[in-house]
Amino acid sequence: MSGNLIVRSRVPGRRVDLRVLRRVVRVLMGDLLRRPGSDLAVYLVDTLEMTQLNEKFLQHQGCTDVITFDYAPTGNAGALHGEIFVCVPEALKQARRFHVTWPNELVRYVVHGMLHLCGYDDHHASDRASMKKIENRLLRELGQRFTLDQLAAPGGQQEN
């Protein structure tokens, strides 16, 4: 994949192996979504930062799991250009609720954000169902290629 990829964690106290996450995102963009040449940034953030983003840019109260900013020119159907903000504490909370690991839930949020960048929407029930089906398929494919729980490896990178 040519283009730029930035993966950063701004969550103190939660170790995430950013090398593994970068590989996951590259496979998702290149092999699975076929969007080479993309310029993408993925930021792992805490509840406070996500709440501030949600309230400032979306005018929604409180925290959410993932927010995507699409910077692609209108009508661009090729490379992705944007930022994905993922709330790690929300992934922890929802992972307990759905009985999955938090790294799996975190990758689900990245997949969800990238689908938004690909033009998928989830404002209506039928769109949500369609998007969820694709999200589940992509997550399964990533799970076959990676041990997603390695994202939580004790020696995982936490650098910015």
User: Which domains can be identified in the chain, with CATH numbers?
Assistant: 4-150 (3.40.390.30)
The alpha-helical segments, DSSP class H, found in 70-157 are: 88-98, 102-117, 125-145
CA dihedral 26→20→141→77, nearest 10 degrees, is: -20
Residue 22, phi-psi category: left (phi > 0), alpha (psi -120 to 50), beta (remainder): alpha
Predicted pLDDT of residue 156: 52
pLDDT tens digit sequence for 45-101: 999 999 999 999 999 999 999 999 999 877 666 889 999 999 999 999 999 999 999
What Rg do the C-alpha atoms of the chain give, in angstroms? 15
pLDDT at residue 155 is higher than 60: no
pLDDT band at 1 (very low <50, low <70, confident <90, very high): very low
